[in-house]
């Protein structure tokens, strides 16, 4: 369904021109080649399209990224999902992405000897479906990213649903942010012991980050611009 939604967005933003040279690269071929790069982590120059050069596929992806079509397509799909199902609870957490060639949105990773990295903060429901993603430098604290992550969700969160978070998010401001959005905060408090049941509910976001690692291109950040990397993440979502 994501592929069909993206096809509609591409036809809307880049209609075919009757004049000029016809395009040899079709939408299906471009989409399949982009997914292949994201899933396998291969370099672009090792890509072997059928009728065009790998440069053409890369420029086509950049054209879609500049129009923010991957995010729009995933937002449309997420709204359709939200109409069909009400989540039991939400969970928020963050993960570090090691940097290789990125030039923006990078900072020193305190858990990796100060090496440059990017932090991805996301909110998922009880099935692990992400509702949004926030990309910041790695030296940003988790409790400061709680409210910005709530603001970057692509569809409104259900009121009255529990929001789980680990002790790194424990602060009075974050609990107020949950109350303002009519969410029941289940943020673990510092200096307290939590049971296995609450940790089991938090495990869904950890599994989400493990699922993302199946897309090998997202384990390390090779893209110079964060817009390209975030679009690849929405494609993986």
Query: Count of domains in the chain?
Result: 1
Q: What is the mean pLDDT of residues 57-80?
A: 95
The answer to whether residue 113 sits within a structural domain is yes
The answer to whether residue 8 sits within a structural domain is no
pLDDT tens-digit map of 91-140: 999 999 999 999 999 999 998 899 999 999 999 999 999 999 999 999 99
The answer to whether residue 14 sits within a structural domain is no
Q: What is the mean pLDDT of residues 51-73?
A: 94
Distances in Å between the Cα of 23 and the Cα atoms of 53, 149, 237 are: 13, 40, 29
Task: Output the pLDDT for position 101.
Answer: 93
The answer to whether residue 80 sits within a structural domain is no
pLDDT tens-digit map of 136-183: 999 999 989 999 999 999 999 999 999 999 888 999 999 999 999 999
The answer to whether residue 231 sits within a structural domain is no
Instruction: Note down the domain range covering 210.
Output: 88-225
What gap in Å lies between CA 221 and CA 209, rounded to an integer?
15
CATH number for the domain harbouring residue 183: 3.30.420.10
Task: Output the pLDDT for position 195.
Answer: 61
pTM of the full structure:
0.92
- 3-class state of residue 17 by DSSP: coil
pLDDT tens-digit map of 55-65: 999 999 999 99
């Amino acid at each position: 369904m994501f592929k069909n939604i993206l096809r509609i967005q591409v036809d809307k933003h880049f209609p075919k021109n009757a004049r000029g040279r016809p395009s040899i690269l079709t939408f299906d071929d471009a989409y399949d080649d982009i997914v292949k790069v994201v899933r396998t982590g291969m370099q672009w120059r090792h890509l072997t399209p059928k009728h065009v050069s790998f440069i053409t596929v890369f420029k086509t992806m950049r054209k879609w990224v500049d129009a923010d079509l991957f995010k729009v397509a995933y937002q449309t799909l997420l709204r359709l999902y939200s109409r069909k199902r009400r989540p039991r609870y939400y969970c928020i957490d963050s993960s570090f992405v090691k940097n290789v060639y990125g030039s923006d949105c990078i900072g020193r990773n305190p858990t990796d000897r100060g090496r440059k990295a990017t932090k991805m903060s996301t909110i998922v429901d009880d099935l692990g479906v992400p509702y949004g993603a926030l990309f910041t430098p790695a030296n940003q604290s988790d409790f400061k990213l709680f409210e910005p992550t709530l603001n970057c969700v692509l569809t409104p969160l259900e009121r009255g649903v529990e929001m789980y978070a680990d002790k790194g998010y424990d602060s009075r401001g974050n609990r107020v942010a949950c109350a303002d959005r009519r969410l029941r905060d289940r943020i673990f408090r510092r200096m307290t012991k939590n049971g296995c049941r609450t940790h089991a509910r938090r495990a869904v976001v950890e599994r989400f980050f493990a699922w993302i690692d199946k897309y090998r291109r997202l384990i390390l950040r090779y893209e110079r611009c964060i817009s390209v990397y975030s679009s690849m993440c929405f494609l993986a979502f």
